[in-house]
Chains A and B, each alone.
Chain A
Amino acid sequence: MTPTDLERLLRELTPQVLGLVVRRCRDFAAAEDAVQEALLAAATQWPHEGLPEYPRAWLVQVASRRLTDHIRSDVARRRRESIAAMESGYVIPPAEIPDEVSVEVDNDDSLKLIYMCCHPSLSRSSAIALTLRAVGGLTTNEIARAFLVPDATMAQRISRAKQIIKDSELPFQLPSAGERHERTAAVLHVLYLIFNEGYAASAGESLQRNDLASEGMRLARLLRALMPDGAEVAGLLALMLLTDARRSARIGPHGEAIPLDKQDRTQWDRAQIEEGVALISATLPKGAVGPYQVQAAIAAVHDEAARSEDTDWQQILALYSILHRMSGNPVVRLNHAIAAAMVHGPATGLALLAQLEADGALKGHHRLDAVRGHLKEMSGDREGAITGYLAAASRTANLPERNFLLEQVARLRNK
């Protein structure tokens, strides 16, 4: 077994083992620590001693033993404290020691775990970190490197998240039917953010960040296996596949973002596009259409065009109209304006932009200026285009995007 295979196996087993241990001991924070210790023990022992016959049972056993040790030392500490307490008139009952374990896999355990890690009471950054560790099986150090923060910061973020779970006594169970939609949306959003963080990393940055995109996809696959009927889960996975397929074509040699219409489409990952297209094509007809599915459908239309000029903008415009009705998100309206410009000409797009601006929802947003620059350029207004691109460059916090915008300004000035 290669180190990569071993790591993959351990990470696959993480949510199963943790889910099982949490179900038995009901203390998520303690179980999570114990499972991390068991994973570490496996990573050091298995390469020398060989793979145990039942790796999952081995991990559960070791984690449970660690947990029992911790509880014992806790009991001993409490006993010392309770002697003092009894002397002062209080009696504290001893903590229970969990039974011996049996290790049947229950998919619901993994699902409960994901819902817990993505609970709306956690901040998004805490939920992301906790999901990567407890569900994804990444170490704190790996997560810290991926987010370019020190280990201690990430460790603290994770331990605070666990403390919030403990303090709010979140039950280890599937959300009720009434909550299910909202709680699933929170889970999907966390996975989307993990993916996006990695996908957005520029070429110059560490590969660790690109790995977050792969990790986001891996977790989406896991979720899909656990919720095969979840149409939005399938939609999110398809969106990730279809977006990530363009990864290697989207950043130029000088670290500048390359927009869709300028990308070298031969660099796109065909196999991933086929998988994504098949998935979204199978999901859409089922009827429970949500925003991730529509975004995946838009990505599929782009990916299916062999050349930029072959893009079916009519269909993209129709899809953005649907998405717009679903979410009313101003960035969706912005993309809708671009699609409208591609179908009906830049004047239509600019008119939509003016309405959007009048509503004030995107005031000061760099993308509004970038789109204005683009549409002005389409309409032949060079000065207006330069003004738009420059305003956007001065506002964006994304370096490859700023480089791209500055290149547009330079290109137009040299015309």
Chain B
Amino acid sequence: MKFILMMGMKTDAASASKGIMTWPKEDIQAHIGFMMSFNKQLKEAGELVSAEGLAWPNEAKLVKAGKDGRPVTDGVFPESKEFLIGFWIIDVESAERAYAVAAQASSAPGPGGAPLNMPIEVRQVMSGPPEDFA
């Protein structure tokens, strides 16, 4: 079963004042180190399909096709929303295992090395075969 684990980032002023850009260097390094070893561990477990981090939303655009089919872009307005900043796609035996992996990602260290316990959205990727009924 494949699942996508999505990590978001809130960009309102209160959240931004506690964001990673305000952390001391060693906390940032610990956080990055955690993520690297977390990905390595998923890979070694034979569960990782892909993992990507996304650029911050400052330069993000909303795009629609105009009447002539050409792109019409609009800025996104990062002050009020929660944005996707990274995701993992994993292939695991069960939904419970996906939740366990998400909980581990959630516990990535933040300021002072304390776990962030950030929310991770877990959604099944639609590639599942019909359930086995034998």
A binds B: yes
Which residues in A have some Cβ–Cβ distance to B below 8 Å? 123-126, 129, 147-150, 152-158, 160, 189, 192-193, 196-197, 199-201, 205, 291-292, 295, 327, 329, 331-332, 335, 367, 397-399, 401-402
Kindly state the separation between the CA atoms of A331 and B133 in the bound complex, as whole angstroms.
6
- A291–B125 Cα distance when bound, in Å, is 30
The answer on a CB contact under 8 Å between B126 and A124 is no
Q: How near does chain A come to B46, taking the closest CB pair, in angstroms?
A: 3
Does A125 lie within 8 Å of B133, measured CB to CB? no
A153 to chain B: which residues have CB within 8 Å? Answer: 43, 46-49, 91
Q: B128: CB under 8 A from chain A? A: yes
Most buried by A among B45, B49, B128, B134: B134
Q: Would you give 28 A-B contacts (Cβ < 8 Å), ordered by A? A: A124-B93, A125-B46, A125-B91, A125-B93, A129-B46, A149-B91, A150-B49, A152-B43, A153-B48, A156-B43, A156-B46, A158-B46, A160-B44, A160-B45, A192-B134, A196-B129, A197-B129, A291-B134, A295-B134, A332-B133, A335-B133, A367-B131, A397-B124, A397-B127, A397-B128, A398-B129, A398-B130, A399-B127
DSSP majority for the A interface?
A: helix
Which residues of B sit under 8 angstroms from A291, Cβ to Cβ? 134
Chain B residues within an 8 Å CB radius of A295: 134
Pair A148/B127 contact, Cβ less than 8 Å: yes
Set A150, A200, A205: member contacting B50, Cβ < 8 A? A150
In the assembled complex, the Cα of A30 lies from the Cα of B130 at a distance in Å of: 36
Q: For chain B residues 11-53, which have a beta carbon within 8 Å of chain A?
A: 43-50
Q: How many Å lie between the Cα of A152 and that of B91 in the bound state? A: 13
Please, how many angstroms separate the alpha-carbon atoms of A150 and B51 in the complex? 11
Known: A189-B134, A331-B133. 12 other contacts (CB 8 A): A150-B49, A153-B47, A154-B46, A155-B46, A192-B134, A200-B128, A200-B130, A329-B134, A335-B133, A397-B127, A398-B129, A399-B127
Q: What residues of chain B lie closer than 8 Å to A332, measured between beta carbons?
A: 133
| CB of B96 within 8 Å of the partner chain | no
**In the complex, what's the smallest C-beta–C-beta distance from A360 to chain B, in angstroms?**
17
Inside 8 A of A155's CB, which chain B residues have their CB? 46
Closest chain A residue, CB of each to CB of B44: A156
Interface size for B (C-beta < 8 A) is: 23
Question: Is there contact, CB below 8 Å, between B132 and A193?
Answer: yes
* CA of A276 to CA of B91, assembled, Å: 33
Chain B residue at smallest Cβ distance from A150: B49
Shortest beta-carbon distance, A140 to chain B, in Å? 11
Of B2, B47, B131, chain A has the most CB atoms within 10 Å of the CB of B131
The residues of A that contact B131 with a CB separation of less than 8 Å are 331, 367
Who on chain A is nearest to B42 by CB? A153
Q: B128 to chain A: which residues have CB within 8 Å? A: 200, 397-398
A149: chain B residues within 8 A (beta carbon): 49, 91
Q: B48-69 CB contact bits vs A (8 Å, 1 = yes)?
A: 1110000000000000000000
- The smallest beta-carbon distance between B91 and chain A, in angstroms, is 5
Smallest CB–CB gap between B79 and chain A, Å? 32
Q: Identify which of A160, A335, A402 contacts B126 (C-beta below 8 A).
A: A402
Docked pose: A123 CA to B1 CA in angstroms? 13
Nearest chain A CB to B134 CB, angstrom units: 6
Most chain A Cβ neighbours within 10 Å, of B1, B44, B129:
B129
Shortest B39–chain A CB gap in Å is: 11
User: What is the 8 Å Cβ interface bit string for chain B, positions 90-134, against chain A (1 contact, 0 not)?
Assistant: 010100000000000000000000000000000011111111111
A402 to B128, CA, bound (A): 12
Least CB distance, A194 to chain B, in whole angstroms? 10
On chain A, the residues within 8 Å of B45 by CB distance are 156, 160
Q: Shortest 7 CB-CB distances between A and B: which pairs?
A: A157-B46, A200-B129, A397-B128, A331-B133, A156-B46, A399-B126, A397-B124
Bound Cα distance A402, B131 (Å): 14
